[in-house]
Structure 1
């Protein structure tokens, strides 16, 4: 007599009654959602992920190139998937790094506010150089006034000479405008009297009919000038780093593909890059945490940064199988191109976007 068929609640496939697990998807046939079941599933899923991460952590840190090589060879369930590894480590890294960023932006904004107050006070007090120049001018004027008849000078001529000299000294002693190419005093005056933004934009030099880009740029420039928002821009910059690195990582894999074009598909190089960037995040996160606890000297940080290249070198040697010299040449060129071309270009773009949209 044929057994009765049962329909799986998960995959909707039929199977014979009597199975403890669905033969199609593996879900339990008697899976009543109790608090115990929910707790068990949560813990088991967590430790399944965590165990694979811990199993791959030692090879990731101390066996360069081992994990990507094993993954390409087919061992794809023993260790954590490279994409999962990257996302997990990156999340932890930027979570820890956010505390450093928040402290830095808060300190920077505080310093800017204090500097603004100090500069306001300084502007109202003549500096030492101006006092000295006034004393020297009086010493020069004294003999001229005493002998003006013999020299054929009138009192008005000496006063005119005095005014011209003072104007020249004031021009020479004035600080150059390093921040903005507009009349800051005029803009400050317009802001103080509550002038409209359009009037302020005009004083800043915005054209009459600006396009969208120009309009947005002047809006951000005025916002920055009012708020002294360096800290806000830096916060936006750091907040955008995870997204930027998400796009920069495939570029790193593309460079590897160009130099190792006969060593597998692009996906193989992407696997290598995911594991390598996971190592980078882990290494810098650990050195940051140790620095918080032990206040490590700065040379240790530089040593760790330098060691990341040697890790890359050894990982590429193991993964691609080239000779030592050829591996050194290729990894050196890839590192140079990435650090000197790709990274600066990405940082400039990221900095500009941070200013435009902070």
Structure 2
């Protein structure tokens, strides 16, 4: 005897998802419908289109505010008007993924370890002198590498082994490894700097009464915008005027957004913006360097 197919319309007295007793059309615990049926192809299509149109509408509304109304999207969220927009974390992650994908495809050199042939000799230098200079440079480099390995060995034998393995690679292998590690670890390092970015805002606006979560929200929106602008900058290759406009808007966007969200005069906002950028760029560079170094050595 064959097993009977699932009924197309089945009302249940207990939720099939969480097991709670139900008395209406939806479970009061998890929200699943109590009227279960196998959806038809038409219903699948209707659900897909409804979801896509809803997401698309949210996306365009979010992009409109994010691009042309600095800080307004953050204010909308802070003031409780959220359902009409894409979530801040999703915006940030989407634009960061697009940026790093374009950056990787652009073929930009991240680390340059020099050519395998060493430093080219001066045209006027004799061949013997050039070879002696190259040998001396190689000796100095070997000494630096040994010092690095010894220093890392005092911290951890595993780090010393990683340095030994990396320095044993050829110049091309080092460059390829550095690129791979950069694109693997840098997005995580930058994302982990978002809490620091929010902390800097918290310190710069002490006494404003704003909670840390509001600063973190602003950090996601402003850094998501930066990734979007940098992505458009790469796509505008050869369009110098467009690139200039994008960079100019990127520079003036953040202080404009800060004034809209936090208030304050232009001078104080400009001073806070300068301090914020100095702190953020410094810690960002350190975080990326540390992430790449750990990726190379472990």
Q: Please, which of 9, 25, 33 is the counterpart of residue 16 of structure 2?
A: 9
Match of 1:237 in 2: 182
Match of 1:296 in 2: 239
| Larger-gyration structure (1/2) | 1
- What per-residue deviation string (whole Å, max 9, x for no partner) do you get for residues 34-89 of structure 1? 44444444443343323211111111000001011111111121211211221222
Deviation at 1:108, TM superposition (A): 8.9
* Mapping 1:216-295, distance limit 5 Å: 216-225=162-171, 227-263=172-208, 264-291=210-237, 295=238
Find runs of 4+ consecutive structure 1 residues off by over 6 angstroms: 204-207
Contact 1:257 1:269 in 2 (8 A): yes
- What per-residue deviation string (whole Å, max 9, x for no partner) do you get for residues 129-149 of structure 1? 437xxxxxxxxxxxxxxxxxx
Q: Structure 2: how far apart are the matches of 1:348 and 1:238? A: 12
Contact 2:236 2:243 in 1 (8 A): no
Q: CA 1:309 to 1:104, structure 2 compared with 1: closer, same or farther past 3 Å? A: closer
Match of 1:182 in 2: 142
Contact 2:67 2:225 in 1 (8 A): yes
Matched, 1:130 2:73: no
Gaps of 5+ in 1: 132-168, 184-200
* Mapping 1:153-192, distance limit 5 Å: 170=129, 174-175=133-134, 176-177=136-137, 181-182=141-142
Q: Structure 1: how far apart are the matches of 2:223 and 2:260? A: 17
Aligned length, in residue pairs: 277
Greater helix share, structure number = 1
Partner SS, residue 349 of structure 1: helix
The Cα RMSD (Å) is: 3.6
Deviation at 1:306, TM superposition (A): 4.2
Q: Please, which of 266, 283, 294 is the counterpart of residue 342 of structure 1?
A: 283
Contact 2:162 2:296 in 1 (8 A): no
Contact 1:69 1:319 in 2 (8 A): yes
* Mapping 1:115-154, distance limit 5 Å: 115-116=115-116, 119=117, 129-130=125-126
Partner SS, residue 270 of structure 1: helix
Contact 1:8 1:29 in 2 (8 A): no
Partner SS, residue 193 of structure 2: helix
Matched, 1:355 2:292: no
Matched, 1:313 2:258: no
Q: Structure 1: how far apart are the matches of 2:227 and 2:102? A: 11
Match of 2:58 in 1: 52
Gaps of 5+ in 2: 1-10
